[in-house]
Amino acid sequence: MTPIISIVGKSDSGKTTLIEKLVPEFVRRGYRVATVKHDVHGFEVDREGKDSWRHKQAGAHTVVISSPTKLAVIRDVDHDADLTELRDKYIQDVDLILSEGFRKNSQPKIEVFRKEMHQDLLCQKEDNLLAIAADQLIDVGVPCFDLNDARGLVNLIEEKFLQGKKSPPVRLWVNGKEIPLSPFVQKSIGSTVRGMVSTLKGGASPQRVELKVLPDGNSHGTR
């Protein structure tokens, strides 16, 4: 089951900024990450006058916006879904979910805290507080990291929740669709490509290789 970590904190504490630092570090290590933003005031994701906005205004319960690179779903709901429901219904094929907000949910939490802006923490250890990211050392029985220590926070999450979940070392897309590969095929392709690349000038000891095969005469190509 995909683990969920909630990044919580008071307004303007830097929750989004911390997520912007964590996501690239997870991606660099080979993990696939989904993010969820909680907005108690409601929100609009489509601009007035756009076709999808017009579909929704016409009374459609669900509107799907699809392109070759992105997919969005806008649908009516009758309650404020918790993180477990969101994960089970809408989020697939990722190793980790980072949420911004959802302080009252039961998932493990990292609280962002700035002493000059706030007096007290929102969470305590008994609230399933995993760690604190702060501008000074705070001792409430959980690890405390510097606000800029994304690597340390990712190390903690990786150790506790992501053992064995790293994305496969070789992934294949054909015409934009990912093709599942068995461990044997992954190993065979990986060793063959790395062996060929290592013989090229500038390709010694390749750690990460990206290869795109393009159709003749088509600059857009196939991934």
For residue range 64-96, list pLDDT tens digits in order. 888 888 888 888 888 888 899 999 988 888 889
* Residues 6+ away with beta carbon under 8 Å from 22: 7, 33, 98, 150, 153, 154
Same domain? For 63 and 18 the reply is no
Same domain? For 102 and 15 the reply is yes
- Tokens 């504490």 belong to which residue? 13
Give the burial string for 132-159 (b: 16+ CB within 10 Å, else e): bbbbeeeeeebebbebeebeebbebbbe
Q: Where residue 98 falls among pLDDT bands split at 50, 70, 90?
A: very high
Same domain? For 134 and 155 the reply is yes
Same domain? For 10 and 107 the reply is yes
Structural domain span for residue 183:
168-223
At residue 103, the pLDDT reads 86
Same domain? For 85 and 62 the reply is no
168-184 pLDDT, tens digit per residue, is 678 888 888 888 877 67
Q: Give me the percent of the chain exceeding a pLDDT of 70.
A: 91
What does pLDDT average to over the chain? Answer: 85
Q: Where residue 56 falls among pLDDT bands split at 50, 70, 90?
A: confident
pTM here is 0.69
Same domain? For 28 and 88 the reply is yes
pLDDT of 219 over the 60 cut = no
* Residues 6+ away with beta carbon under 8 Å from 127: 109
Say if CB 150 and CB 29 are below 8 A apart.
no
pLDDT of 34 over the 50 cut = yes
Higher pLDDT, 167 or 5: 5
- State residue 43 phi and psi, 5-degree precision: -160, 165
Last residue of a domain, one of 52, 78, 104: 78
Same domain? For 98 and 144 the reply is yes
CA–CA separation, 114 and 138 (whole Å): 11
Same domain? For 104 and 86 the reply is yes
Number of domains in the chain: 3
At residue 179, the pLDDT reads 84
Same domain? For 20 and 69 the reply is no
Whichever domain contains 93, its CATH number is: 3.40.50.300
Same domain? For 146 and 180 the reply is no
Last residue of a domain, one of 161, 182, 210: 161
CA–CA separation, 69 and 173 (whole Å): 13
Same domain? For 35 and 53 the reply is no
Same domain? For 101 and 20 the reply is yes
Nearest to residue 33, comparing CAs of 18, 19, 14?
A: 19
194-208 pLDDT, tens digit per residue, is 889 888 888 887 777
At residue 223, the pLDDT reads 46
Last residue of a domain, one of 115, 145, 161: 161
At residue 40, the pLDDT reads 61
pLDDT of 115 over the 90 cut = no
